[in-house]
Amino acid sequence: MPEILASVLDGLLIGLVYGLAAIGLTLIFGVMDVVNLAHGAVIALGMFAVYFLFESGIHPYLGLVIVAAIGLAFGVFVYLIAVRPIIDGPPLMTLLATFSVSMVIIGVGTALWSTSPYNVDFPVKTLNLFGYTVTSARLVAALAAVLVTAFLYTFLYRTTLGKAVRAVANNREAAELMGIPSQQILALAFGIGTALAMLSGALIATLFPFTILSGGIYELKSFVASVLGGLGNPTGALFGGVILGLIEGAVAPFIKVSWTNVIEFVIFVLILLFFPTGLFGGRR
Amino acid sequence: MSRVILEVERVTKAFGGLLAVNDVSFQMHEGEILGLIGPNGAGKTTLFNLINGVYKPTKGHIRFRGEDITGLPPYEVVKKGLARTHQIVRPLNEMTVLENVVVGACFGADNLGLEPAARVAEEVLEFVGLADFHETLAGKLNLAQKKRLEVARALAAQPKLLLLDEVLAGLNPAEVERMLGVIRKIREQGISILMIEHIMQAIMSLSDRIVVLNFGQKLAEGTPEEVASDPRVIEAYLGDPEMAKKILEEEA
Amino acid sequence: MKLLSRPFFWLIVAVTLLYALLPYLGGNITLRETLVLSAIYIILAANLNLMIGYTGYVNFGSIVFFGLGGYLTLWLIASHHWGLYPAVLFAGLVTSLLAFLLGFGVLRLRGAYFALATIGINEAVKDFVANFEPWGGAEGIFLPFTAFKAMGGPAKALWTVYLLIVLVMGLSLLLTYLVKRSKFGLGLFAIREDEDAAMVLGVKTPLYKTLAYSLSAFLPAVAGGLYFFKNGSVIPDEAFNLHLSIEAIVMVMLGGQGTVTGSAVGAFLYERLRGLLLTLPGLSNFHLVIAGALLLLIILFAPGGLMGWLYRVWPRLRRVLE
Ligand SMILES: Nc1ncnc2c1ncn2[C@@H]1O[C@H](COP(=O)(O)OP(=O)(O)OP(=O)(O)O)[C@@H](O)[C@H]1O
Ligand SMILES: [Mg+2]
């Protein structure tokens, strides 16, 4: 019994990080109806960003701030190049455009860094939490995910800019009529979504070894989590991530790890089919 | 009186808490032109969507030529001989005008093959005055032409009953005249017409009878003269001064 | 439609014969191996075009059909001693049937939701197969050498399989051409343009979409069976390689979605380009980058692809090259 509880606790902590990644995905969808298929590649970029910052002597947790800034700038750049010109076209086009961005990132990443695993090798303590041992890295990653989410909510609900983002998400034309520069807001939202993805990647990199291809699996987890929570609903995405983490934790002691993916994808397809607006209701 | 072609019986449609159509009943007869009017948001388009199966009624029944068609999907309804146009035009943009109408003919009441459908489509395009635009991509037409394309596609389905949703809206007076001509010709072919229209003069002169909706409910029903002089109708439109004026002018 | 009087039909026949005879007459194995890849690409792109180009549904996971076909075929041959022909046919039919059943569910989803579900399906099947012991788990299935014996030894068998793959390629082009010129195809195009309007016009959209999805599964599954038979083995990562199905999208977009010629030319060019990049020193690592950049450029500047551009320059071409 204690074994499964420890495993569930681990799942909860990592689930918060999945949730953070999923918020990045769901935010972009919520604001501009674009499913960002570059999400996984960007997560991988976050992993490498924190790695190289660490190699140049910056502590991973300090590096997070820089990663977030890079993510924001990179997201705005991607938006301007690949998404903005076709934002009003058929959804198929933005899907393919963001996918092409992903191909470029992964291609460049593979060429530069090959596909062999990297590792952010910094000292990690094991802690005792309610009688269960967890690593400090996992705990910090979960806390960081929660903090970033709280920060995001403060931004969205307490600042003028954040309210503008929500207004555009709600109804772009109406927001424009109110004088909100919607294109800038869309770029910003894409930037924030990308920053969140990179941050989650950076946090994951403090836990596990990774390659440029590692983002893919977290992209899929982000899809599952955001679909669980209702695409476009950030709170739902966070809960979706937690649910996913808990499921992983709960089944981990009983089945081979590789089966968890099957379970997750089956859940994913079933949720899409039977609860297309998610368990908590989302935008459609 | 001729046979009943359409029977709407106590139909209700709720969107969440909003009763867009609330317990509406009426009948229409074969060969009739029935006008459906009411202020913006009265539930007219929703009623069309209920009749042709885009939405399923929350309550009530719809019978077409004696058969209960409540809840049938739209593609079944059109096969029974009930076609419609859209208030907001929905051309198949990247297909030619001819192809658009061929779709209507192929999948309509007669379930035609491609070649007979093409012949029907050509006739219909001639009929609505789009004969010169066969090869034009539908997305490239102007609004008046797109409205005629809507009518052409619906006609190509060989309907017994045609639902027209504001086919005159947004047209200039010359285009309105032209469309009115088309509608009269359709009726001459013996097709029954249920039409939504805001242009009072047109609907009053075309319709045999009129049903008035307000806030989802049926407010009045009768001949154009009866409806136009009904105080409840005038009051309903008073919230919409423009419309009230038009009705009063009509009476004068 | 009088098929035999259509120039485009003869064009398909000619291209197919060219693919079949060019390496066969000279006994040129290198050429054969190049062409087999491009034939497979054409098969994938042409069938994917039924969904993307005709119906307007982006199937990101179309490769799942190819992979399932491969697995079913090799499993039937290796474990149940079936012959190649019944095995590929059966694999094609079963895959198509599965797609039909699945289609009624997933095709209720539209746009991005559908696209995500197709990725999920491919990944779920891949992970399932990787854990499925009767199919060899992560090690996959190996064909015993005896499997080739029935076909006159490996060398002869490989030629036969090559010709069969080319045949499937020809059939894919023919199928997509016939669909395009049919009432069924017209219904699909109407769905692509505006699904709700199509439904109001009388197109039985749920059935049509599902049929298109199921149809787009058959020949790729057969091709998967042939391809992995030729390889002598099948493993999950190769069978359900999500990348290949994305590359298939690039091919369709490159050539021009919705056109038969476009899907074939796009696949052919993409294969050439890929081959070129793989052989050029220093560029071999960049083929993904270039494919990605290419896709982006097409989307931004030429969403109609090569054929869209050609049609604009010579509008009359539209009638000749479908
Ligand atoms: N799909 C829907 N979901 C929620 N509410 C809807 C939906 N469709 C219509 N409504 C609401 O139902 C009411 C009736 O709308 P409807 O379009 O039927 O009006 P209408 O009489 O056709 O108006 P108009 O003259 O402006 O075309 C409106 O309040 C509208 O907002
Ligand atoms: Mg209306």
- Matching residue, tokens 């700038």: A73
For residue B41, which ligand has an atom nearest its CA?
1
Q: Please classify residue A235 by burial: count the beta carbons closer than 10 Å to its beta carbon, then call 0-12 exposed, 13-18 middle and 19+ buried.
A: middle
Angle subtended by helix axes C205-231 and C183-193, to nearest 10? 100
Q: Rounded CA gap, A265 and C128, in Å?
A: 10
- CB-based contacts of C280, cutoff 8 Å, min separation 6: none
Could you tell me if residue A282 is inside a domain? no
Q: For ligand 1, atom 3, which residue shows the shortest CA distance?
A: B15
Instruction: Please report the DSSP string for A108-132 in residue order.
Output: HHHHHH-SS-B-------EEEETTE
User: What does the pLDDT read at residue A283?
Assistant: 45
For residue B15, which ligand has an atom nearest its CA?
1
Residue of A nearest to C57 (CA): A92
> Which pTM value belongs to this model?
0.87
C121 contacts in A (CB within 8 Å)?
A: 265, 269
Q: Rounded CA gap, C39 and C52, in Å?
A: 19
Q: Rounded CA gap, C254 and C295, in Å?
A: 7
pLDDT at C283 over 60: yes
E strands along chain B, which residues? 4-15, 18-29, 33-37, 59-64, 67-68, 82-84, 161-165, 192-196, 209-214, 217-222
**Number of domains into which chain A is organized:** 1
User: What does the pLDDT read at residue A280?
Assistant: 66
| pLDDT, tens digit (0-9, with 9 covering 90-100), for C11-57 | 999 999 999 888 888 878 888 888 999 999 999 999 999 999 999 99
CB contact under 8 A, C204 and B75: yes
For residue B213, which ligand has an atom nearest its CA?
1
Provide the mean pLDDT of chain C: 89
Could you tell me if residue A58 is inside a domain? yes
- CB-based contacts of C154, cutoff 8 Å, min separation 6: C145, C148
Residue ranges lining ligand 1, Cβ < 6 Å: B 15, 18, 20, 38, 40-46, 87
Residue of A nearest to C304 (CA): A93
Q: Please classify residue B150 by burial: count the beta carbons closer than 10 Å to its beta carbon, then call 0-12 exposed, 13-18 middle and 19+ buried.
A: buried
Closest residue to C288, CB basis, from A85, A110, A276: A110
| pLDDT, tens digit (0-9, with 9 covering 90-100), for B189-235 | 999 999 999 888 888 889 999 999 999 999 989 998 888 888 888 77
Which tokens is B169 given? 């809206």
Shortest Cα–Cα distance, C255 to chain B (Å): 17
Amino acid at B183: I
pLDDT at A266 over 90: no
ipTM of this predicted structure: 0.89
> Which of A144-148, A243-247, B76-80, C318-322 is predicted with the least confidence, judged by mean pLDDT?
C318-322
For residue C141, give the 3-state DSSP assignment: strand
Q: How far is the CA of B88 from the centre of ligand 1 (A)?
A: 12
User: What does the pLDDT read at residue B251?
Assistant: 54
Q: Please classify residue C144 by burial: count the beta carbons closer than 10 Å to its beta carbon, then call 0-12 exposed, 13-18 middle and 19+ buried.
A: exposed
Closest residue to C288, CB basis, from A90, A91, A106: A106
CB C292 within 8 A of CB A100: yes
Instruction: Name the nearest CA neighbour of C11 among C145, C177, C129, C248.
Output: C177
Q: Rounded CA gap, B45 and B87, in Å?
A: 8
B73 contacts in C (CB within 8 Å)?
A: 199
The predicted model gives C204-217 an average pLDDT of 95
CB contact under 8 A, C193 and B93: yes
CB contact under 8 A, A258 and C287: no
The domain limits of chain C are 3-242
Work out which ligand 1 atom sits closest to the CA atom of B216. 14
Which tokens is C209 given? 């979409």
Closest residue to C200, CB basis, from B78, B95, B102: B78
Could you tell me if residue A281 is inside a domain? no
Residue of A nearest to C130 (CA): A258
Element of type H or E holding A134:
strand A132-135
CB A278 within 8 A of CB A230: yes
CB C120 within 8 A of CB A265: yes
Instruction: Name the nearest CA neighbour of C68 among C215, C220, C199.
Output: C220
Could you tell me if residue A129 is inside a domain? yes
CB C136 within 8 A of CB C228: no
Could you tell me if residue A221 is inside a domain? yes
User: What does the pLDDT read at residue A95?
Assistant: 86
Q: Which residues pair with B82 in a beta bridge?
A: B161
Closest residue to C299, CB basis, from A91, A93, A259: A93
* CATH number assigned to the domain comprising residue A43: 1.10.3470
Work out which ligand 1 atom sits closest to the CA atom of B21. 14
Residue of C nearest to A34 (CA): C112
- The torsion angles phi and psi of A142, rounded to 5 degrees, stand at -65, -45
Q: How far is the CA of A29 from the centre of ligand 2 (A)?
A: 30
pLDDT at B79 over 80: yes
Instruction: Please report the DSSP string for A191-246 in residue order.
Output: HHHHHHHHHHHHHHHTTS-B-TTTHHHHHHHHHHHHHHH-TT-HHHHHHHHHHHHH
Q: How far is the CA of B165 from the centre of ligand 2 (A)?
A: 7
User: What does the pLDDT read at residue B65?
Assistant: 93
Q: Rounded CA gap, C224 and C64, in Å?
A: 10
User: What does the pLDDT read at residue B162?
Assistant: 94
CA distances to A148, A149, B243 from A68, in Å: 10, 13, 57
B117 contacts in C (CB within 8 Å)?
A: 183
Ligand 1: residue of B21, B40, B45, B163 to mutate (most ligand atoms within 8 A of CB) is: B45
Q: Rounded CA gap, C107 and A272, in Å?
A: 11
Using the Cβ of A266 and the Cβ atoms of chain C, whether some distance falls under 8 Å is answered with: yes
Between C40 and A126, residue with greater pLDDT = C40
Shortest Cα–Cα distance, C319 to chain B (Å): 12
A262 contacts in C (CB within 8 Å)?
A: 124, 127-128, 131
Q: Which domain holds residue A187?
A: 2-274
Residues 201-260 of A with CB under 8 A from C: 220, 223-224, 227, 231, 256, 258-259
Q: How far is the CA of A115 from the centre of ligand 2 (A)?
A: 57
Q: Rounded CA gap, B132 and A274, in Å?
A: 48
CB contact under 8 A, C186 and B102: yes
- Helix boundaries (H) for B80-113: 97-106
| Cβ atoms within 10 Å of B139's Cβ, excluding its own | 12
- CB-based contacts of C278, cutoff 8 Å, min separation 6: C284, C287
Closest residue to C285, CB basis, from A97, A103, A110: A110
pLDDT at A281 over 70: no
